[in-house]
Amino acid sequence: MKPSADTLHLINKAIALQYRVVPKGMENQSLELFCDEEDNLANLLDELQIILDKPIKLNPIAKTEISRLLSTHYLSDTGTQEKELSAISANDDFLTTLIEEARKLKSSDIHIETFEKKSRVRVRIDGMMIERYQISREDYPALVNKIKIMANLDIAEKRLPQDGRIHYKSAKQSAFDIRVSVLPTLHGEKIVLRLLNNSSTDIDLYTLGLSDFDMENYLQGIQRPNGIILISGPTGSGKTTTLYATLKLLNKTTRNVLTIEDPIEYTLEGINQVQLKESIGLGFASALRTFLRQDPDVIMVGEIRDPETANMAIRAALTGHLVLSTIHTNSAWGTVSRLMDMGIPSFLVANTLNTTVAQRLVRLLCPHCKEATDFDAKAYPKQFKAPFSLEKQFVAKGCSECYYTGYKGRKAVYEVIPVDAELAFEIKQGNMYIEPLLKTKQIKTLSENAFELFAEGQTSLEEIFPLLLSI
């Protein structure tokens, strides 16, 4: 029982939540609605026909089922439903409601997109996309233009991509920044709004998910006066959050800390943060070149994405600076071969790399509704060998607290490799197969740390399955 996104706009959010109804669709000029079977159906029918001014057909379903539909399709920032207006037209109130709702729900991105016959709004919560609104094709251009004006973009330019930024202020919430990306598509412009958390007060390295053993190794790496700390992982794996948490720890009045970022996601008091601007020639490499003349102690580079930036980062590390950055590889040890692919000699990698980290984000099971079931080891990937056997597993169920997704919140899974003398020797020799050596040092892989989360009942096998495949 799942209403299509096309039917949800037939009634607004206030009516849906007040009368506990969800549109099923139109049938013979009548609006068919799911409703709570325990309600007084006669009174409900009379009121809805007056309010909506059209013939209504009620489809009674179980109370738990209507609660699930309301939580899923008319979600709010708490587990209980709130009587908020869900506007569908592209007016000022709609954009304000959309941004503030996404902020309350701790959404990372808002996707506003248009197709041949419809336009829609989706939000990303805990890494998953959820469709929230349908917008009429007629109202869509007005919404795009309003966002462009707020971001100081050219409303007349509809053929080329544009990037901008909005500093959003509201009486209800503290000010924050929104990164705006506009992309021309077949049927119009798609806009992605990235909500940036300007406050760093909630970031704490000790709560991100590092085990005691990994934390000890990581802290030893960042306490060195020079060298490179590299954090790897795909887009959206929490690398930037780990970097900011590290910078908070290193931010002392006795240190000069400089960063070059794209974008600046958090504002850190006492740290000199620079926004990358490729259009005027301010890239990672050119900023690094200037940083070296600014007498820095710690340098953070948003990403090492090309040989020039890699060479400048190595040079900074060799001349007595601590450099923190991110890089796109599949594993912690993979950063070594990636740097070599960029033309960095193996002896320079060995002499400058302090610690290499890989991380992923894993959704956590909702503590209010997760269920224990029997577990069969045949569910593992074929090549995965579990460190120990399990008789029970926890699976996602779904409740109003988690909007019936079964998951609530995310946690980072890490693989931390401190580069000591033995590993530095292997790098110089060009030996990429070092798994036996890592085992002797009791360094756990992403797969092993993810399995521990599963064994503890914090997440599901479905969520860590890709990590078990990757090793």
232: tokens are 């790897």
Q: Which of 377, 365, 363, 332 is nearest to 466 (CA)?
A: 363
Q: 23-71 pLDDT, tens per residue?
A: 888 888 888 899 988 888 888 888 888 888 888 999 899 888 888 888 7
- Over range 298-309, report the average pLDDT: 94
40: tokens are 């007084």
Can you tell me the distance from the alpha carbon of 11 to that of 382, in angstroms, rounded to the nearest whole number?
48
pLDDT band at 153 (very low <50, low <70, confident <90, very high): very high
Whether the pLDDT of residue 164 is over 80: the answer is yes
Can you tell me the distance from the alpha carbon of 86 to that of 421, in angstroms, rounded to the nearest whole number?
60
Q: 327-381 pLDDT, tens per residue?
A: 998 889 999 999 999 999 999 999 999 999 999 999 999 999 999 999 988 889 8
Can you tell me the distance from the alpha carbon of 145 to that of 180, in angstroms, rounded to the nearest whole number?
12
Helix 212-222 with 239-250: angle, nearest 10 deg: 60
| Neighbouring-strand partners of residue 391 | none
Q: 118-132 pLDDT, tens per residue?
A: 899 999 988 888 888
pLDDT on residue 250: 95
Can you tell me the distance from the alpha carbon of 115 to that of 419, in angstroms, rounded to the nearest whole number?
50
Contact 128, 236 (CB under 8 A): no
Can you tell me the distance from the alpha carbon of 354 to that of 364, in angstroms, rounded to the nearest whole number?
31
Q: 233-262 pLDDT, tens per residue?
A: 988 898 989 999 999 999 999 999 999 998
Query: What's the chain's average pLDDT?
Result: 88
Q: Is 293 helix (H, G, I), strand (E, B) or coil?
A: coil
Contact 5, 131 (CB under 8 A): yes
Supply φ then ψ for residue 138, to 5 degrees.
Answer: -70, -35
Q: How far is CA 106 from the centre of its chain?
A: 10
pLDDT on residue 430: 86
